[in-house]
């Protein structure tokens, strides 16, 4: 794994969603210096918005397919 144990943290959150059912979420936190070492940093062209956002239907389709 490219990250040391103290550079990454994973949290699991549980709770009742707006629909009344239990849901679980994962949050992954990585130290910024570790990301920079891996070549992921704010100076990368892909880290900045470089064009218009995709249309609304594209986002809706992506959310449908994610389930």
Domain parsing of the chain, residue ranges: 1-47
Contact 31, 8 (CB under 8 A): yes
The predicted pLDDT at position 10 comes to: 93
Tokens encoding 20: 């009344």
Mean pLDDT, consecutive 10-residue segments, the chain of 67 residues? 86 91 92 83 69 83 81
The predicted pLDDT at position 14 comes to: 93
CA distances from 39 to 12, 13, 35, 43, 45 (A): 27, 29, 6, 10, 12
Is 0.85 surpassed by the pTM of this model? no
């Amino acid at each position: 794994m490219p990250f040391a144990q103290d550079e990454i943290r994973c949290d699991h959150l549980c709770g009742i969603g707006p629909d009344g059912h239990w849901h679980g979420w994962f949050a992954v936190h990585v130290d910024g210096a570790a990301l920079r070492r891996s070549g992921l940093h704010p100076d990368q062209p892909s880290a900045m918005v470089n064009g218009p956002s995709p249309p609304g239907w594209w986002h809706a389709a992506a959310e449908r397919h994610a389930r």
